[in-house]
Amino acid sequence: EAGVTQSPTHLIKTRGQQATLRCSPISGHTSVYWYQQALGLGLQFLLWYDEGEERNRGNFPPRFSGRQFPNYSSELNVNALELEDSALYLCASSWTGEYGYTFGSGTRLTVV
Amino acid sequence: SQQGEEDPQALSIQEGENATMNCSYKTSINNLQWYRQNSGRGLVHLILIRSNEREKHSGRLRVTLDTSKKSSSLLITASRAADTASYFCATRGAGDYKLSFGAGTTVTVRA
């Protein structure tokens, strides 16, 4: 069974540009979660999608947005990039309900 | 904001020794989970303990949960070099499906 896949692995952008990160969940998982892990910090919850709908959003500005497609894959968009957006962005998927998450390997975004 | 707080922040032990780390949280939970992260990669799910459970085992891992103290502990027995990683506790609140993670404990196992 394929795990959660994220692309690209690394992304370098200039301040003010837009970044698009992609995530494919494990087959059958309908929930996708996005987290930001800045250097030296823990995981900060960004967004939760389930069945194509945004279910919950963390304490991040509106320039962080995303969507979930009919095949349950997901996209995270970050507009007007700032230097502080440099971080490892992790995507996870799970069954809906009381289950653990399966994480992808992450996209390391560097804003210069 | 972080829900869980791990203690200690860092731990260095000799191969073969046991490693214990603690997690405290603030609000009522549905379950608590532990994850491992190697070298800034993705997290791996280790174990889930429900709010009505007090102890759970998985291989060399032992997790306890004390809901009255809002705390949990993770014990890794007979540690190996491959256990070198960061360990995170994560809590799921009642009626919520997202996990809130702590800042993690970095464990170094010396050969």
Interval A86-107: pLDDT, tens: 999 999 999 877 789 999 999 9
The C-alpha atoms of residue A27 and residue A11 are separated, in whole angstroms, by: 26
- Does residue A56 register a pLDDT over 80? yes
For residue B42, give the nearest of A90, A94, A97 by CB distance. A90
> What secondary structure does DSSP assign to B73-108, as a single string?
EEEE-S--GGG-EEEEEEEEETT--SEEE---EEEE
- Cβ-proximal residues to B78 (8 Å cutoff; 6+ apart), any chain: B16, B18, B60
* pLDDT score recorded for residue B41: 85
C-alpha–C-alpha distance, residues A96 and A10, integer Å: 29
Cα–Cα distance, A101 to A91 (Å, whole number): 9
For residue A32, pLDDT over 70 is answered with yes
Taking CA atoms, B51 is separated from A36, B9, B24, B66, B91, in Å, by 27, 25, 14, 9, 10
- Chain A residues in contact with B105 (beta carbon < 8 A): none
Query: What are phi and psi for residue A12, nearest 5 degrees?
Result: -115, 125
Q: Is the pLDDT of residue A35 over 70?
A: yes
Task: Read off the pLDDT of residues B57-69 as tens digits, 9 standing for 90 and up.
Answer: 999 999 999 999 9
CB count in 10 Å sphere of residue A97:
7
How far B69 CA lies from chain A's nearest CA (Å)? 22
B86/chain A closest Cα distance in angstroms? 10
Q: Tell which residue, A31, A35, A62, A54, has the closest CA to residue A46.
A: A35
Pick from B30, B35, B103: CB nearest A41? B103
Peptide bond into A70 cis (omega under 30): no
- For testing the chain B interface, which of A32, A43, A46 should be mutated: the one with the most B CBs within 10 Å? A43
| pLDDT at residue number A4 | 96
Exposed, middle or buried, B32 (CB in 10 Å: 0-12/13-18/19+)?
buried
Do B104 and A48 count as a contact with CB atoms less than 8 A apart? Answer: no
CA-based nearest distance B99→chain A, Å? 8
- ∠ Cα A46 A50 A51 (to 5°): 150
